[in-house]
Amino acid sequence: MGARAPESVGAENEPRTRADWVDRKLREAILSGDLAPGQRLHTGELSKRWSVSQTPLREAMQRLAVDGLVEISPQRGARVAPVSLKDSYDVHELRVVLEPMALRSAMEHGSHEWLAALEDAYEVLTDELRRGAPDRGAIEESHRRYHLTLIEACDSPWLLRILDLLNSHIIRYWTLTAAPRRNTDEVLEEHRRIQTFVTEGKTDVAVAELTAHLQNALHSVAERMGEQPD
């Protein structure tokens, strides 16, 4: 492994500007479901709610529209983007292709600091899963954090940006649709195998285990799509 020490995904960086702060607040409200899919976004109401001017709110909405979390139209204004099983399937399918690529790169370029951060993220995830925390959002966020830390040593900034966006949409889908969780023991075992082979530096096996894990999630979405009436 190389000596490059990537920034930790788990570190909570303070927003640099007021616009960044508003962006984060709006993003969190959408991902958690506090602002529901399809809900109209009124800048006046949100301005009062968060004690900010309407200008950074409009900037944040434009940013999130680029990420597919907000829809803006001249006639209807700004609304929270809807969620659908079809969109979720598309996002999961892309992740199956891209995340194993990022892991392979991360294992080629990662440092000991990266492995230490990954171990910390793994422990948080397994603790959340074993406890069965009542806050579903907390479990999904710890899962997202583990997977982002898993690939953060990847040397392609574009690949990391794309996967960060895909993971945001995935956590939103699982949080908002009340999709049944997969068997906890199976999920724990899948992550244990991924973590073990990454720690041991067995790249091909680790990539194969990650691919299988992601395909299982994709199959879960496909099964739900099959349950929908025509």
* Percent of the chain whose predicted confidence (pLDDT) is above 90: 62
pLDDT at residue 100, as a whole number: 98
The half-sphere exposure of 33 on its side-chain side, counting CA atoms within 13 A, is 15
Model confidence at 198, pLDDT cuts 50, 70, 90, reads very high
Closest alpha carbon to 191 in 209, 204, 169: 209
pLDDT of 4: 36
Average pLDDT over residues 128-142: 75
Whether the pTM exceeds 0.85: the reply is no
Whether 178 shows a pLDDT value over 80: the answer reads: no
Rounded CA separation 1/110 (Å): 6
The model's pLDDT over 93-113, given as tens digits with 9 standing for 90+, comes to 999 999 999 999 999 999 999
